[in-house]
Amino acid sequence: MRAFIFANGIIKHLPEPEAVIMPDDLLIAADGGASHFKALGILPNVLIGDLDSIRSDDLNELRTAGAEIIQHPSGKDQTDLELALDLAVDRGAEEILVFGALGARWDMSIANIMLLTAPEFAGVMLKFIEENQEITLLRGGEKQTFHGKKGDVLSLIPMGQDAVGITLKGLEYPLKDDALRFGATRGISNVLVENTATVYLKHGLLLCVHISLLGKIEKSDRITG
């Protein structure tokens, strides 16, 4: 099952619903992210958060329409997005697409990106998508294939520690069983020289940022083990 989440970050251009939302997706609004669903004319299945960001008229509309509303106290220990991700996993999502995870507040944006590294999401294909950019996380023992076009950018950023045993195929700067050091920028701005690129990782965590020249991310496939 797949989940689609709108967080409350700034989205300059909303995605076309038919291009990103499938009929059986679990649609989750993380608090003020409900406004993005409203702008698209779509009713989310669930609204979750402390409800301090959603407009009162939007909240009333969702109640009237019969959406499930899960309210947490304002003194909670998790962001609304983390609550939404936990809910998606609890309900069986194997893939989660998140829009609006990044915005004007750097603290929230950084914390949201760090959610990708949480152990509880290790078994889920979790993607943050912002227009022509997609962020995913590769864990040790996995490989991921990125589908795009020649000239697309793929940046690789170690998280928390050195990323060891990296092999890259289909990129301008290939690596073979090499390492990227945590805190260094060697993995930034690699370029696809084919329409697909594959990243293999033996140990560590590797943030993968795919920037598409066409303005739309095709897809990426991750294999564990």
Residue range 47-101, pLDDT digits in tens: 999 999 999 999 999 999 999 999 999 888 999 999 999 999 999 999 999 999 9
C-alpha to C-alpha distances, 120 to 87, 109, 117, nearest whole angstrom: 12, 19, 9
> Are the beta carbons of 48 and 70 closer than 8 angstroms?
yes
- Ordered by where they begin, the domains of the chain are 2-131 (3.40.50.10240), 137-224 (3.40.50.10240)
Distance CA 172, CA 41 (A): 42
Q: Indicate the pairing of strand 178-180 with strand 95-99.
A: unpaired
Q: Where are the alpha helices (DSSP H) in the chain?
A: 17-20, 34-40, 56-65, 80-90, 106-114
Residue 173: strand pairing partners:
none
What pLDDT is recorded for position 224? 52
Q: What is the pLDDT along the chain (225 residues), one digit of tens a residue?
A: 999 999 999 888 898 888 889 999 999 999 999 999 999 999 999 999 999 999 999 999 999 999 999 999 988 899 999 999 999 999 999 999 999 999 888 999 999 999 999 999 999 999 999 989 999 999 999 999 999 999 999 999 999 999 999 999 999 999 999 999 999 999 999 999 999 999 999 999 999 999 998 765 545 565 654
